[in-house]
Amino acid sequence: MLRQWFGLQRKSAGRLVALSLSPRPAWSPCDYAALSREGYGRNAVAHRCIRLIAEAAAAVPLRIEGQGRAADAVRTLLTQPNPDQTGVELMELFHGHLQVAGNAYLEIAEGYDGPSALFVLRPDRVRVVPGPKGWADAWEYRNGADRRLIERDRASGKSPVLHLKLFNPSDDHYGTPPLEAAARAVDVHNAGGAWAKALLDNAARPSGALVVTSKDGSDARLTEQQYQRLKDELETLHSGPANAGRPLLLEGGLEWKPMGHSPAEMDFIAARREAAREIALAFGVPPMMLGLPGDNTYANYREANLAFYRQTILPLARKTCASLNGWLSPWLGGGFDIRPDEDALPALSEERLARWKRIGEAEFLTDGEKRELLGLKSLADTEDDDD
C-alpha cells in the first residue's frame, strides 16, 4: 500500500528509493454523466447551489396577464402541467437540468382542443437536428434503443419543444452549464475530501520509507521472501485507523525514515474553501448563503439573499417567462403575457417598501403617475374591471 500510494519503486540493488509523482493533474470529463455524478451527486457545494437556484426559480410566483381562453389555458398548464407533477415541480426539474447541462427542454402534448400537458425532457437524451440553414428543425429523443423525432412546424410557427439554453460562445445549438465552468473547482474540492479521508484511514500521518543498512553501513538488500513478508505486515498491521499508534518492530538493519509534509502542504482545508468559493461564484450564489467562512462581501445574510435574487434568480425567471411567451403564443393565439411577479417575492419586500415610500412621497407626481411607476393599474381601469 505504501508503494502504491507514493509510487515507491524498489531497486535491484542498494538502498535507493525512487519517488514518482504525476506532473499533470487528472481532471474529470465534462459530459453530462460525469458532471451530474461528480458535481451534483458527490459535491455538497455544487449540489446545494443547484438546489438553491432550481428551487428559488421554480418558487417565483408568475403573473399571467390577459383575459379569455388563452390566458386561462396558460394558467392551467403552468399550475398542473401533467398528471404526475405540479407547476413548481416541473419548473424545479427544468431549471435543475439547465444548471447541470446548460440545456433544458419542455415538450408540449397536444390534445383535441390545443395543448393539454407539459413534460420535461432529460438533456442527455435529446439531440438537436439542424436544418439546411443551421437552425434547429427537429429534436431526436433517445430512450435506450427507442428513437423519436420531434419536428418543428415552420408554417404555423408551432414547436413541440422549448429549448432553453445558456450562452455558449463556441456552439450554436447547445449551452454551457455553470457546472462545467466549476468542474475543476469541483475536482479540487472532491480530491481534497478524498485526501483527508485517506489520511484519516492511515492514522492521519504520511507514509515513510524503510531503509536497509548492513552492520558496517554499506548497502544491503532484502530477499524476495523478506520483502513480501515485510510488505504484508505493513499493510495488515500498520495501516488504517484501527492500527493508529501501533509501534513498528524493526530488525535486521531496518530503519524507518518518515516522509513528512510541511504545514502548507497539509493545509487542504484552505484549498477546499477556495474551491468551494469558486463553485459558488460559477453558479452566482453568494458564499455566505452556503455557510462558507471568511466571506465579508455582504454585511449580513439578508443582503446576500437580496443579491442572489436580483443577480441570479430574477434574470433566470425573466428569461424563462419570455421563452414561454414566445413558445406558447403560436399554440394558443396570444392574448396573454407571462412575467415574474416581483411584488410577491418575500426576498424583495424591504426593497419594495422603500420604493413605494420614495414614490409615494414624491409630491411632484400625480396619483396616476405614481400608480404607473409602481406597475399598478390606473384608477379608470380598476373601475372598468369592477363594472
Check whether 214 has a pLDDT greater than 70: no
How many CB atoms neighbour CB 283 within 10 A? Answer: 22
Asked if residue 237 is part of any domain, the answer here is no
End position of a domain, from candidates 327, 344, 361: 344
Tens-place pLDDT, residues 130-161: 988 888 899 999 988 899 999 988 878 889 99
HSE at residue 296, side-chain half, CA atoms within 13 A, is 1
Rounded average pLDDT over 264-280? 78
Does any domain span residue 109? yes
- Select the more confidently predicted residue: 209 or 40: 40
Q: Say yes or no: 378 and 288 in one domain.
A: no
pLDDT of residue 209: 65
Has this prediction a pTM greater than 0.85? no
Give the domain extent around 370.
Answer: 346-387
Q: How far is CA 82 from the centre of its chain?
A: 26
Torsion of CA 18, 21, 22, 24, to 10 degrees: -140
Domain co-membership, 267 together with 370: no
pLDDT for residue 187 = 87
* Same domain, yes or no: 128 and 32: yes
Domain for residue 234, yes or no? no
294 and 266: one domain? yes
Tell me, yes or no, whether 238 lies in a domain. Answer: no
Give me the mean pLDDT over the 265-282 stretch.
Answer: 80
pLDDT one-digit tens code per residue, 97-111:
999 999 999 999 987
How does residue 370 score in pLDDT terms, banded at 50, 70 and 90?
confident
- Is there a single domain that holds both residue 155 and residue 197? yes
Domain assignment present for residue 170? The answer is: yes
Question: Rounded to 5 degrees, what are φ and ψ at 162?
Answer: -100, 120
Establish if 236 belongs to a structural domain: no
What local confidence, expressed as pLDDT, does residue 319 receive?
A: 96
Q: How far apart are CA 136 and CA 127, in angstroms?
A: 10
**Together in a domain, 358 and 269:** no
pLDDT reported for residue 210: 63
For residues 18-24, give the mean pLDDT: 46
CB atoms within 10 A of CB 253: 14
Tell me the pLDDT of the chain averaged across its residues. Answer: 79
Q: Based on the structure, what is the number of domains in the chain? A: 2
Of residues 200 and 110, more confidence is placed in 110
pLDDT band at 124 (very low <50, low <70, confident <90, very high): very high
Answer whether residue 17 is part of any domain: no
pLDDT of residue 332 exceeding 70: yes
Distances (CA, A) of 76 to 79, 86, 147, 257: 5, 10, 30, 73
Q: Tell me the DSSP string of 210-275.
A: EEEB-TTS-B----HHHHHHHHHHHHHHSSSGGGTTPPPP--TTEEEEE----HHHH-HHHHHHHH
222 belongs to a structural domain:
no
pLDDT of residue 7: 42
364 and 328 in one domain? no
pLDDT of residue 379: 62
338 and 350 fall within a common domain: no
322 and 367 co-located in one domain: no
* 189 and 146 within one domain: yes
Identify the pLDDT of residue 9. 44
What pLDDT is stored for residue 304 in this prediction?
A: 85
Claim to verify: residue 96 and residue 66 sit in the same structural domain: yes
pLDDT of 314 strictly over 50: yes
DSSP for 289-357, please give it.
Answer: GGT-TT--SSSSHHHHHHHHIIIIIHHHHHHHHHHHHHHHHHHHTS--EEEE-GGG-GGGHHHHHHHHH
* 198 and 317 belong to one structural domain: yes
> Is the confidence at residue 82, as pLDDT, over 60?
yes
